[in-house]
Amino acid sequence: MNIHDLISNTSKSFLLLAICLISSPLISQVTSVNYQLKYNIDSCWYDAYLIINSGSATSVNDRTQNSSRYSIIVPVGTNINVIRNYLPLQNNQTYTGTDPVEWNINAVVGAPTIDPSHDYYRFAPLLDNESHYHDLYAGDTLKLFSLSVDTIFDCGSGIRIFENTIDPGPTAPGMGFINFSNIFRIGGSLSIYNENSPQIFPDLPYIEVPLVPTCNAGIEIDVTASTSSCQAPLSYVWTGPDSFISTDEDIVILPAETINEGDYKIKVTDHFGCKDSLTVFAFNKPNAGNDLVVCAGTVLGLSGTSPDTGSWAAAISNPGGALLSNTNPGSANVSFDLGAEGLYRFIYLNAVCSDTMEITVLPLPVTNITGDQTLCIDETTTLSPGSGGSWISNNPLNAMVSNDGLVTALAAGTGTFTFTSFSTGCSGTTDTVTINPTPSVSITGTPNVCVGSITTLVPASGGTWASDLPTVAVVDNSGLVTGMSEGTVLLTYTDTMTGCLSDPLSLNVLPTPVISIIGNDIICENSNTNLIPDTGGTWISTNPVVAVIINS
């Protein structure tokens, strides 16, 4: 290569270098950035962010950190320190850096005269070594460092980034000629800081919605609220009707009245003073009344209160055997049939809440007539069960019953019997027992009969007659009695329809008198003779035209 070529090539190189130096800032230079402060609920720190608004940086020079300021204002007395660094990275020219640059506090002004309620902190990167970002592009958001703050209140509203041209300048009273204005330089000496992006404060407590009264009892509202572990614990303040105030998490007013119904507002506050609130309209839980245990066959009146204008409904899961009727505001009737058994629920409702009355229906004891259902007086029959309870007669003049179920008939008529179980207190009643009357009998003929003579009894039909001593007297079913020998006989009648036996009739069978002629057995007209006996009876002539006789 000759000198002319060398000069020519050298000129071209200088020209190319000049073009590169002139045009490079135009195509790869970040031109505007914002600062942003975010509270991190996972780490419990504040994170300081850099937001690239425009431009880009891909060359080593354009990615190089230069002197910058990141100023934070906190409530007076608050301790704040950098607890972790992230960017830029030391010696990151070739994207291999791993150690972040330290951001340190390089100026502090506490409670300046112009703003005695705040302290001012200025943070800057330590530039002992060159440090670089990775390639930067518009829209990138980069976390530079994290801050530990020992005290946070009012939800962190007093912790913020310094506002250039708004917050006190270096010459303001008490600022000590220290400039806290934010600057950011990268790839040159020109600050490209623009403004602060909206700050991200600690989250407000989260209250689960909808907030609905539980209707467990009276007025009850259960709230579920949560916050980050950094912001715990939570505190609660309730306000409501009738000057109600409570600091409990959940509220219960029991008993409650109509005056307690209305809007209840809860304000939930976390450890940082972050607050959220909700309002719910709460109704008093109505009162359906106490749960009951009754027996099948019971008829009940239901009466609800608090308020007394609610409505009644039967639960769809109820077993059969119950009828809800006469449903008026606040009241209703329920009838359980004789076969009802189990758990029945009846719901008393107002506009929002309801209360449920549970009625346990116990079965009636099963009663049976295990003996005869038709009796005669003084006969007995048996009932079941024979134990486990007590029996009563519902017609004690007609029949009596013992607790083991033995019935004795006392008088004609009907009777039912009720058994009450010792275990349930429920009662069951038997079918009807019929008690037939004792047949009425009498002697319509002579009250006594002589041997060989007859007399008559009634009734003369509808049954059978019997003699206890047929050798003394016999009787047929028409009631005709014939004396057979001297003695006393008992005669009874059995009614064919009822099977009932009459009380016995006593009949005496008398012997035939022994008579004889002690005078002449042949006499003349107008003559007489003597017969014996001459006392103890009466004589009659069977043919008074032929002869007459006197009792002597």
Q: Give the model confidence (pLDDT) of 470-484 as tens digits.
A: 999 999 999 999 999
442-510 sits in which CATH class? mainly beta
Phi (first) and psi of residue 3, to 5 degrees: -65, -30
Query: Cis (ω within 30 of 0) for the bond into 75?
Result: no
- SS3 percent helix, strand, coil of the chain, rounded to 5, is 5, 45, 50
Q: Residue 81 is inside which H or E element, if any?
A: strand 80-85
Q: How many CB atoms lie within 10 A of CB 229?
A: 8
CA-based nearest residue to 165, from 184, 185, 180: 180
Query: Cis (ω within 30 of 0) for the bond into 210?
Result: yes
Name 64's Cβ contacts closer than 8 Å, sequence gap at least 6: 130, 131, 132, 186, 187
286-328 pLDDT, tens digit each: 889 999 999 999 999 999 987 788 899 999 999 999 999 988 8
Fold of domain 206-282: Immunoglobulin-like (2.60.40)
- Residue 428 confidence (pLDDT): 96
- Residue 129 confidence (pLDDT): 80
- Residue 493 confidence (pLDDT): 98
CATH 2.60.40.10 range(s) for the chain read 206-282, 292-362
- Residue 380 confidence (pLDDT): 98
Whole-angstrom CA distances from 357 to 287, 305, 353 are 9, 12, 14
DSSP category for residue 258: G
- Residue 462 confidence (pLDDT): 96
- Residue whose structure tokens are 């009450």: 420
Counting as low any pLDDT under 70, the low residues of the chain are: 1-28, 210-217
- Euclidean distance between CA atoms 415 and 433, whole angstroms: 5
CATH 2.60.40.1080 range(s) for the chain read 368-436, 442-510
- Euclidean distance between CA atoms 158 and 513, whole angstroms: 147
Phi (first) and psi of residue 385, to 5 degrees: -75, 155
CA 75, 76, 77, 83: dihedral to nearest 10 degrees?
50
- Residue 84 confidence (pLDDT): 98
In this structure, are residues 9 and 3 in contact, taking their beta carbons and an 8 Å threshold? no
| 445: its two tokens | 């003929």
Strands of the sheet containing 399-401, edge to edge, are 368-369, 380-384, 406-409, 399-401
Tell if the pTM clears 0.75, that is, is over it: no
- Euclidean distance between CA atoms 431 and 414, whole angstroms: 10
Q: Coil, helix or strand for 4?
A: helix
Please say whether the structural domain 368-436 has been given the CATH code 2.60.40.1080. yes
- Euclidean distance between CA atoms 125 and 299, whole angstroms: 88
- Residue 214 confidence (pLDDT): 67
- Residue whose structure tokens are 């490209």: 192
Residues counted in the chain = 552
Q: Coil, helix or strand for 92?
A: coil
| 62: its two tokens | 């354009």
In this structure, are residues 233 and 249 in contact, taking their beta carbons and an 8 Å threshold? no
Please say whether the structural domain 292-362 has been given the CATH code 2.160.10.10. no
Q: Which pairing describes strands 399-401 and 406-409: parallel, antiparallel, or unpaired?
A: antiparallel
| 510: its two tokens | 């008398």
